Structure 1
């Protein structure tokens, strides 16, 4: 007999949050009801914790939170690091040199903050939602953040296709076993391409595994909901998973269920809570 689900993992942007970065009221109410019943609820997001903390507090969460797609695990109860998987030392220095050569607009994620310089000004709105601590420097590739003892959590870059391709090729050549990299066209910025690089070995699926093990439950007892490509690893790991209505087809194909609701209207997470956990608000 299949066991009842004991944990819900929720993505933020495009899933729980509206266009202004606030949880949809009905979805937030449903998650608080689930927490009050004693079910584990965790956020797993691409954001840094500083950009996630407000949602954690709004929902009254206390367990582990997965940030930067599983590279940083933080206690929602104490707001302290439980696990951090960063790019350190000579590998961080190599990464710095690669971005300096390719010269895209570069945003460095470390110390729960984002550091950038004037080349990133046109794209600041693209990354600012990921952290409430965004610091402008004179030249990001000369900033001391690259020497952070715990390492770089991630680097996001925006530029031309040639700039992003050069950076991605450099990372593959010099840091193949150390870093994972993804490049993609940015739909909201005409002609721009984006890149994100993080330490190898972590994703939203590994974050879900980490949280389930922390709580002593099986993956079969977990439920997840998301909307984008980085959610696919946790959608495929969970015992039951839901894709938002506006999700791309490859995300919908990875989930066991597809929601009719989109992030514009809200209510998708509330439907998950009702269908998977039997709580209606």
Structure 2
């Protein structure tokens, strides 16, 4: 190995190992298997919920602990074990429900095991078709005190919806943490992840490394999104994808190839193994 000091590799999913066709290339799969076989654990770090990540863990044959919900949960699906969790308070959930109804903007809510929506829509269709998630349709006000919600999401496409989403973000900016993300499969759709105010992928990484008994300097991380910046800046080795925004590239130690050219495999070959 070139850098035996690395004891953990953390990899984002969408736009990093998952391409525009919602696939992980065989080359990237092989590279991550080589990392695991070398004795370095691989953890996925994603804004996705647990259920929408399981098939990728299976494809990559990864067990262990991973970061979900933009860092609000560090969890082993295999063991059903939480290392760290920071849910949104029931009080703030109630305020979100009230404001969203006022401006007529739908949003989703997620527990560790379920996806909730108040009605079927094109956004729930995307969840079903792309993320393989089926919504539980329910009046949010009836479950706000019964469920532990880890994340909410605004899914917007039109100019009007995007303006309402900006209004929502402005209204709750001091109480919640927002990250605007995209997936190549739906280039015109914005996914705004909503998590508790002090949550980040960086904070989740600190919880995971503490649990593992390793230092942040012993972590290599690869990502492409704005929500990956806290992860990358917390890691000993930060690698940005070529398809990442300039702000992400600016804080990385290295920039690898884009997702459609197996940037993860290239990074593993050049910097990890």
Q: TM-score range by the shorter chain?
A: 0.7 to 0.9
* 1:220-231 equivalent positions in 2, closer than 5 A: 220-231=217-228
Of residues 2-11 and 147-156 in structure 1, the stretch that sits farther from structure 2 once superposed is 147-156
Paired position in structure 2 for 1:82: 83
Paired position in structure 2 for 1:135: 135
Is the CA contact 1:63–1:77 (under 8 Å) kept in the aligned structure 2? yes
What is the DSSP-based 3-state SS (H/G/I as helix, E as strand, rest coil) of the residue aligned with 1:242? strand
Cα-Cα RMSD: 2.7
Post-superposition Cα deviations, 1:4-56, rounded to whole Å, max 9, x if no partner, equal 21110000010111223232111111111211221121000010011111111
CA distance in 2, matches of 1:130, 1:61: 21
* 1:82-161 equivalent positions in 2, closer than 5 A: 82-118=83-119, 121-124=121-124, 127-128=127-128, 131-135=131-135, 137=137, 141-142=140-141, 144-158=142-156, 160-161=161-162
CA distance in 2, matches of 1:128, 1:230: 23
Paired position in structure 2 for 1:46: 47
Is the CA contact 2:110–2:149 (under 8 Å) kept in the aligned structure 1? no
| Cα separation, partners in 2 of 1:55 and 1:258, compared to 1, 3 Å | same
Of residues 92-101 and 5-14 in structure 1, the stretch that sits farther from structure 2 once superposed is 92-101
Query: Runs ≥4 in structure 1, deviation > 6 angstroms?
Result: 184-187
Paired position in structure 2 for 1:264: 260
Is the CA contact 1:203–1:233 (under 8 Å) kept in the aligned structure 2? yes
Equivalenced residues, count: 267
In the alignment, structure 1 segments of 5+ residues that lack a partner are none
Is the CA contact 2:109–2:153 (under 8 Å) kept in the aligned structure 1? yes
**TM-score, length-normalised on structure 2?**
0.86
CA distance in 1, matches of 2:30, 2:235: 23
Of residues 157-166 and 67-76 in structure 1, the stretch that sits farther from structure 2 once superposed is 157-166
Deviation at 1:201, TM superposition (A): 1.3
Post-superposition Cα deviations, 1:85-106, rounded to whole Å, max 9, x if no partner, equal 1112222212211211121132
Paired position in structure 1 for 2:57: 56
| Cα separation, partners in 2 of 1:135 and 1:145, compared to 1, 3 Å | farther
In the alignment, structure 2 segments of 5+ residues that lack a partner are none
| Cα separation, partners in 2 of 1:19 and 1:182, compared to 1, 3 Å | closer
